[in-house]
Structure formats: structure tokens, C-alpha cells
Structure 1
Amino acid sequence: MALGARGSVKPHSSLFALFSRVTDCALVIAGVVITASQALDTVPQSYFIAALGAVICLQFSAEFAEIYRSWRSETIWAEARQVSFCWIASFTFIMAVGSVTHLEESLFSWPQFALWFACTWLMLLAWRVILRVVLQAVRDRGYNTRSVAIVGNGELALDVAHRIQNCSWGGYTVQGFYDDRQAPEQPVIGDQKPRALHGQAGVCQISGNFNDLIRDARAGVIDQVYVTIPMRGEQRIQWLTKRLAESATSVYIIPDVFMFDLLHARTINLNGIPAIGVVGEPNRGTMSMLKRMEDLVIALCILALISGPMLLIAAAVKLTSKGPVFFRQTRYGLDGKPFKMWKFRSMSVCEDSTDQIQQAQRNDSRITRVGGFLRKTSLDELPQFFNVLEGTMSIVGPRPHAVAHNELYREQIFGYMLRHKIKPGITGWAQINGARGETDTLDKMERRVEYDLQYIRHWSILWDLKIIFLTIFKGFVGKNAF
């Protein structure tokens, strides 16, 4: 197949990005026209002013989200998420400006603003879906494809090949595996028998050594090379990349970081030097804003509903035992920084030692009569919604432990302190899975930490709502709560 057929779009990628920008701008304006046509005979000038402002905001936010880069190797869901964030941010800004400047009332009143938002949002996503369908059909016919070579023959090389195989929309064709050392056995993808690979990603075997790879790269047979050699093979990688630089082939190094417990791993640019974050920072930037908005809205709604019961609980605590109504204990929060967590007092003592704290046990003599009921039903946790409002806690997240427990378990459980990469929560994935109450054995704490890290790795707004919903039915009362 001719190189021109395989990479027919690549030489015009800048023009394609410009086409995408123009299309998005046109769809924003089209959304305003559609909105106006539902209520007015003509489109007022103020509508076009609002559309122009939205276009500028969308292009500005697009620079940060990089929505006009190549999405060839990523899913439509990843692209749709970034496009949605850009449009939501742009629309929110225009709505705020419109409310302050009193632009055309019909545009910024119900249901006109909702129609503009929904119509434009759907069109921005729809044309990208259509584009992907068209491009996949073109690539299935052998056009605009990419020929890929994988350097290495280990587990990471196989994983890369599997991911390329599953990226059916990208038009990638695995040319083969290349290695300068004899493999113990031929790697195979799928259940088929190994055979020479020429244009199919279903089966792979060693196609040659480094010299063969350099020859194929120079001949223009290979478009991209993915190097999966372990990090200890630094000299081999340097030699190969220098030789491949003599061709026009794109080279990507995939470091073997799967030996680490990855937590939101991502790359950063350190003043021109790329770095891989093995332990990343979840819920930062846009994600942090979304989660904070979620916390504020839900916390205010819940506090409005439970203010009456909280007054009754406060009175019961005060009248049935000596001591304050509330108990504030030092816990570790975001980034391991200490904060004071609010609870209804459920014991006859108020311990807040950083050296040693005795956990509550079944039939603990320190627990008051009212306190026993509060702890079993988790009603003693209700004041923590004030922690949510002040920003030290979230509604959903890993439960905060006493400082003394943190100092104990951080030395015994691998990844324990990674729980503090996000704000602690009132409820969490561990709690609705029964990992709550006393952690009198190391296994129990390890199980809780495993659930917490699973939540951090896969956090989403929908998952938060699911956990909140399940907490209502199974998270408040449990056999391990006492």
C-alpha cells in the first residue's frame, strides 16, 4: 500500500484542527439561531453577541483542555468528557455575564437557556461521533492507517499490542515485535497460532532484531515505534533511538512502571523535561471544582433536612451524660494535613491523643446510652457536614482515622498514606462494603485501604452518587458499628 494512502490525513493535521475549530464555532452560533427560532421571528443582535462570547470562551478553554489535538488513540468518551467540560465552562461564564449585564431576557430565561445549552452540546458531540464513524470506515478500507512496531518481547510489549488491538477505531496495524535478544517463546495475542504478522493486530511474533527495525523504519514501512524495554536497558534504548532518529519514524518510550502501585499516574512538563507521576493528584483542577460543587450542594440540602433531628440529638447528648455536645478529634486530611473533625459526643471521655487511642470495642464501658445508639446508626457523624462546608472533608471519600492509627499503619500497610491524596469523607466505598467499625487486625485495615484506593483510582461523580444512595440503605447501620 502506498504511504500516501496510509497517512493521507496526517500531512494536513493543522488544517483538520482548523476545520474542527470552525465547525465548533458554527455549531455554537447554530444553537443560538435554533433557540431564537423557537420563540422569535428574527434573531436579535443580543443573541449573536452572546454566541460570539460563547465562541471566544470555548476557544479559550479549548487551549487548556487541548480538545483540538489528535484523539486517534483515545476513546470517544475521553474526548466527549473534555468537550463537555469546555462547553459547560463557556456556557456558565456567558450565563453569568448575561445575568449581570441584563442581556436579552428571553435568551437567559427558562427554557431558552436550557435549549441553547442542550442543543449546542449535543451538536458538538454528535459531529465528533459522526467523524469517528467516517474515519473508522476509511481506515477499515486501508486509508489513513498507522503501521506500528513494538520493541521488546515481555509482558509490557504484549500489553501494548493488546491495547492497540482493542483500539479498533484508530486504524493501527501492528507490524511486529522487534528485539535484539532471543525471546524465550514467541508472544501471541489471542487464541490463534503464531504466524508472521503483516497488517493484522490479531497475531504477533518476533519479526526481527534492531537492525531489521531500523531498516524497515528507513524504508518507510513503519510509522510509529513503541519501545517497551525495561528501564534497566538504558543503553539499548539510547542506541536504538539514536539510530531511529535517522528515519522519519515517530518513537515513543513506554516505561515499565507497572511494578509500582500507580495512583492517577500522568505526565507533566517540568520546565521542558517530561516526568511521569507514579503517584498523581486526583480531584485537582476541574475535577476538584466539580467535587467541591457536589459537596456544597448536597451538604446544604442534607443540613436543611436534618437540622431538626440534630437539635434533638444535641439535647439528648447533653441531658443524658456529662460533657460537651460535640467532640472534636484531630484527624489527617488532604495531603496528610491535620484537621479537627466534628462528631456528636458518644463516650464519657474525649480522647484526642496523637500517641495512642483505644478504639471503641463491643460493649465498651466508655460509650454512653445515647452514644451507643448514635454510633450504631452513624448519627454521631452528622456534624461532619459542617466539615464539608468548611472544606476539610468531602461527603464521599476514605474515612479519616485518628492520628495515632495513621502513624501505626503507615509503616505496616503499603500505600496506606495514599488515602490522603483526596479529602476524607463522611461515607465511602469501604463503608458500604462492610469495611467499617473496629480494625483490631491488620487484615481488616488492609481490606479498608484496598477499597479506599480503588475508589480514588476510579472516582467519578456518578460513583459518588451511587455510594450516597447505597449509604442510605446499607451504610448507616452495620454489625461492625459499635
Structure 2
Amino acid sequence: MNTFKQGRYSGYLRPLSYIIDLTIINGLAIFLFFQHIDPYFFVFVISSSWIVLSVASHFYEVYRYTREVTILSMIIKQLVLFGLLMFAFSGYNYEFNLHPKTIISYVFSVFLLISVFKFTIYYLLQKYRVSFGGNFRNTVIFGANKKTLALEGFFNKNPEYGYKHKKTFSFKEKNSKALEESFQYVLDEGIDEIYCSISELSNNQINEVVDFADNNLKILKFLPDNKEIYSKKLKYEYYDYIPILSLRNIPLEESINMFVKRGFDILFSSLVIVFILSWLTPLIAILIKLESKGPVFFKQSRNGFNYREFDCYKFRSMMPNSDAHLYQATRGDQRVTKVGKFIRKTSIDELPQFFNVLFGDMSVVGPRPHMVSHTNMYAKRIDKFMVRHFVKPGITGLAQISGYRGEVETDKDIIGRVKYDIFYIENWSIFLDLKIIFRTFLNAIQGEEKAY
């Protein structure tokens, strides 16, 4: 089902910017300005401080609609802060004997090179969009008035920002048929982002647009006016001088958060694979083979980030059967083997998914992925189910430690799971991940009622 697939911004630009900037900062210091200081100590302290400083000052939050004057002000602000940081470093480590003139020359040299690099990337991306048609987002606008016409003009007059405006819909009559036709257009034309003027739609229509965007993985943004929008979080942005509100702010769309989460996933999964799976896998394999014929591992297609299918791995806990890809295990399921009951009760059967984490298909923590057949069914039946696919699926998740693990017996189970998953997506932090992992470990030791 390609209906739900959606293009994404590149997640590599900001990590690449961090790497290049840190190379400039440390390279100039070690090889040109401060050749006599301990390079390892300097690199550790200054690199760590730069990352913390950049996150706090939002130095790398440059978007396609960010203006040059804004970028310049960010560079000047960072220049001042980094200068103060270097003088603090010099004062605390006075034995390095760093002269103020040398520090000032170093800071200005660093920011000259960083500024050149930052604006070069900015203009190269604009050239790439205009000349080669890459890195574009297809847009539509719901509602026609002065504000939406201004936004349409912004899209059409500034191709370098990477927006292809397809159509503006007018809803003067406020009938549901016109809204349904616009939804179909969005699906047929592969639209990425919907911009909605609140004053041109009724409250019911706005609710329909929100539900449609959530259920079809479309980014929804609003042009604010005197009506109220009810949401937990709103992100306020400017396109030129036009204010835009994003209905859902997803922390894991920020590159630094993606980098932190991916780094944690690689580290944690590597530790589990090396120190647990390396010796546990042969033992489990022997037990599985002694009880029943068939493979040691069970492979199943599931839907992950951006609705992309991937092969999810588990230790086989059932007798080989043709229904494994269609039906979940139920209480007293005759397909489950004796070894399977033990490894399912203790969640050992899920451990091979750490290879999925290492390969990048999954995360340690996130919404649990469903079988493809179940995903297709729930996507049509359960409101906002598709929001779960805005992030990578996880081995464990907030819903699983909150009583929504295992078999989905009624729609109430999947609705509750979706609510917890959306809360996790909108409120992610590395500390929340650690809390979920700790609770998962405790639950595995204590045993869970629905672990069958």
C-alpha cells in the first residue's frame, strides 16, 4: 500500500554539519593555534562543550525556509558564546598559557570557515532544488483567502526553498464532498504537506483534516487566525514573514535527537548481541531443535518507519504453521511449543530483534510493529493508528509497559496502545527510553499476564 508512504527530509545534513564544524574547531586548534596543549583533553572538552552549546542555542536548526539574515544572526550569537567558552577554558586551564590575542584570532578563524561552509551548503541545496528538481516537497493549501494566497505566492516565487505547490482548495460552501475530493487529490498526487487556513473551514472540517493527515502520514500545518486550535504542543515557524503552526511536534525529527537515539541503539544492541546473544543463541537453538523440526529463527514481515516493510526476527516459539503470519498467539494456543512458552513468558523470543536494531530497521524503544495484515486492518479501522509510523518501531515501548502488551483481544486494546504510542512520539527523551527499558526488564523478571 503506497498510500501511506511519504518523502522525508534528509537526516544526514545536521550530523554532517556537526562533524565538519568539529573538524574545523579541533583541526585549527591542534595544528595551527594551540600546538603545545594536550590534544586529547582539548578535543574532548571543547567538542562536548560545542555540542551542548549548539543544542542550547539551536545553532543547527536551519530549515529550507530559514532566511540568510537569520543564519547570520545565529552565527554571530554562536561566535560570542564560543569566544566566552574559549576564554573560560583558558582561565580554568591557565597552565596552557593561552594568550587572549591568540584566542580571538582562533575564534574568528573558526567562524570564518564555519560561516563559509554553512552558507555554501545552504546555497548548494537551493541550487540543487532549482536546477535539478531534488529535495522538493509537494504541497496543497486548504482554504482560499489573503493569507493563503500570500503563502501560495511564497511557494511559487521561491523554488529554492524546495516546495512544489500543487493546488489551493476553496471551501466556501463548507460541504463534506469538497473535502473528500481534496483528500483524494492529496493521495493521488503524492502530496507531502497540507497547509490549512482555519478561518476557511468549520470545526468539523478541521477535525476531519487532522484525522486524515494522521491516518495517512501527511504533515499538517496551519495558518493561524482568531480561532483556537486544541493540541498538546504547537510549533511556531515563519515562512518569510508568514506565520505557520505545526500541529504535531515530533522530537525525533530533530537531527541531534535522531543522532542520540541511533547512537544509543547501536551501543545497547551491540552490548546485548556480544554479551547475551553470543552464548544464549546456541543454547536456545539446541532446545528448539530438540523439541520440534523447523528453523531456529522465525522471520515475519512488519511495517516500520514511514510504513516501510522489513523482516522482523524472533526465536521460533511455535510449531511451523501456515497461519503464523495471519494470527497472533492467543491464551492456550496449541501452536506454541513447550520451549516457546518459556521464551515467550520471559521475552527471550524477542532478543534477535536487536539485530534489527543494529541494522537500523528498529529501535530499542518505540511503538511495537504489527504484522502487515494487521497493520492494514487497523489502519482502516482505528483512528490515528498510522501516526505510530512517524518513528522507528521498537522492541519494547511505553504501551507495552502500560498493560497493552501481546494479544489484541478487542479494539479497546489497540486504541489504548495507539494513545500511549502517540504520547511517546510527542514526548520522547532519552530518559523516557531508559525508564521504559528498566520497566521492561522488571516486567520480564516478574512475568506478565499477557506474555503467552
Q: TM-score, normalised by structure 2?
A: 0.54
Is 1:231 the counterpart of 2:199? The answer is yes
Contact conserved, 2:248 with 2:426, CA < 8 A, in 1?
Answer: no
Residues 115-174 of structure 1, C-alpha deviations (whole Å, 9 max, x = no match): xxxxxxxxxxxxxxxxxxxxxxxxxxxxxxxxxxxxxxxxxxxxxxxxxxxxxxxxxxxx
- 1:327 pairs, out of 294, 298, 319, with 298
Alignment of 1:244-283 (within 5 A): 253-254=224-225, 256=227, 258=229, 266=235, 275-279=244-248, 282-283=251-252
Is 1:338 the counterpart of 2:309? The answer is yes
Q: Equivalent residue for 2:404? A: 435
In the superposition, relative to structure 1, how do residues 274 and 362 fare at CA in structure 2: closer, same or farther (>3 Å)? Answer: same
Q: 2:411, 2:363 → 1: CA distance?
A: 26
Please identify, of 374-383 and 408-417, the stretch whose mean Cα deviation from structure 2 is larger.
408-417
Q: 1:292, 1:475 → 2: CA distance?
A: 24
Q: Equivalent residue for 1:404? A: 373
Cα distance, 1:45 vs structure 2: 10
Cα distance, 1:334 vs structure 2: 0.2
Cα distance, 1:469 vs structure 2: 1.5
Q: Equivalent residue for 1:479? A: 449
Q: 1:14, 1:408 → 2: CA distance?
A: 46
Contact conserved, 1:427 with 1:475, CA < 8 A, in 2?
Answer: no
Contact conserved, 1:331 with 1:402, CA < 8 A, in 2?
Answer: yes
Contact conserved, 2:305 with 2:391, CA < 8 A, in 1?
Answer: yes
Q: Equivalent residue for 1:297? A: 267
SS of residue matched to 1:328 = strand
- 2:289 pairs, out of 293, 304, 318, with 318
SS of residue matched to 1:456 = helix
In the superposition, relative to structure 1, how do residues 57 and 317 fare at CA in structure 2: closer, same or farther (>3 Å)? Answer: farther
Cα distance, 1:270 vs structure 2: 6.9
Residues 338-366 of structure 1, C-alpha deviations (whole Å, 9 max, x = no match): 11001000001255777xx1211111110
Contact conserved, 1:329 with 1:352, CA < 8 A, in 2?
Answer: no
Contact conserved, 1:397 with 1:422, CA < 8 A, in 2?
Answer: yes
Contact conserved, 2:237 with 2:244, CA < 8 A, in 1?
Answer: yes
In the superposition, relative to structure 1, how do residues 18 and 312 fare at CA in structure 2: closer, same or farther (>3 Å)? Answer: closer
Q: 2:315, 2:75 → 1: CA distance?
A: 59
Q: Equivalent residue for 2:19? A: none
SS of residue matched to 2:88 = helix
SS of residue matched to 1:283 = helix
Cα distance, 1:232 vs structure 2: 4.0
Please identify, of 53-62 and 449-458, the stretch whose mean Cα deviation from structure 2 is larger.
53-62
Residues 82-121 of structure 1, C-alpha deviations (whole Å, 9 max, x = no match): xxxxxxxxxxxxxxxxxxxxxxxxxxxxxxxxxxxxxxxx
Structure possessing the higher relative contact order (Cα contacts under 8 Å, 6 or more residues apart) = 2
Alignment of 1:88-237 (within 5 A): 231-232=199-200
In the superposition, relative to structure 1, how do residues 298 and 350 fare at CA in structure 2: closer, same or farther (>3 Å)? Answer: farther
Q: Equivalent residue for 2:215? A: none
The sequence identity of aligned pairs, in percent, is 36
Cα distance, 1:53 vs structure 2: 6.5
Q: 2:74, 2:373 → 1: CA distance?
A: 55
In the superposition, relative to structure 1, how do residues 404 and 462 fare at CA in structure 2: closer, same or farther (>3 Å)? Answer: same
The one-letter code sitting in structure 2 at the alignment partner of 1:24 is L
Contact conserved, 2:396 with 2:437, CA < 8 A, in 1?
Answer: yes
Q: 1:54, 1:62 → 2: CA distance?
A: 12
In the superposition, relative to structure 1, how do residues 432 and 36 fare at CA in structure 2: closer, same or farther (>3 Å)? Answer: same
Q: Equivalent residue for 1:31? A: 88
Cα distance, 1:429 vs structure 2: 0.4
Gap regions ≥5 residues in structure 2: 1-69, 120-196, 203-222
In the superposition, relative to structure 1, how do residues 418 and 15 fare at CA in structure 2: closer, same or farther (>3 Å)? Answer: closer
Q: Equivalent residue for 1:82? A: none
Cα distance, 1:281 vs structure 2: 5.1
The one-letter code sitting in structure 2 at the alignment partner of 1:336 is Y
In the superposition, relative to structure 1, how do residues 60 and 340 fare at CA in structure 2: closer, same or farther (>3 Å)? Answer: farther
Contact conserved, 2:313 with 2:356, CA < 8 A, in 1?
Answer: yes
In the superposition, relative to structure 1, how do residues 319 and 381 fare at CA in structure 2: closer, same or farther (>3 Å)? Answer: same
Gap regions ≥5 residues in structure 1: 1-12, 64-228, 235-251
In the superposition, relative to structure 1, how do residues 254 and 473 fare at CA in structure 2: closer, same or farther (>3 Å)? Answer: farther
Q: Which has the higher helix share?
A: 2
In the superposition, relative to structure 1, how do residues 56 and 401 fare at CA in structure 2: closer, same or farther (>3 Å)? Answer: farther
Is 1:389 the counterpart of 2:372? The answer is no
Q: 2:105, 2:284 → 1: CA distance?
A: 54
Q: Equivalent residue for 1:423? A: 392
SS of residue matched to 1:341 = strand
Name which one, 1 or 2, has greater alpha-carbon Rg: 1
SS of residue matched to 2:380 = coil
In the superposition, relative to structure 1, how do residues 46 and 397 fare at CA in structure 2: closer, same or farther (>3 Å)? Answer: farther
Cα distance, 1:298 vs structure 2: 1.3
Aligned residues: 284
Q: Equivalent residue for 1:152? A: none
SS of residue matched to 1:429 = coil
Q: 1:45, 1:325 → 2: CA distance?
A: 67
Q: 1:280, 1:352 → 2: CA distance?
A: 39
The one-letter code sitting in structure 1 at the alignment partner of 2:83 is A
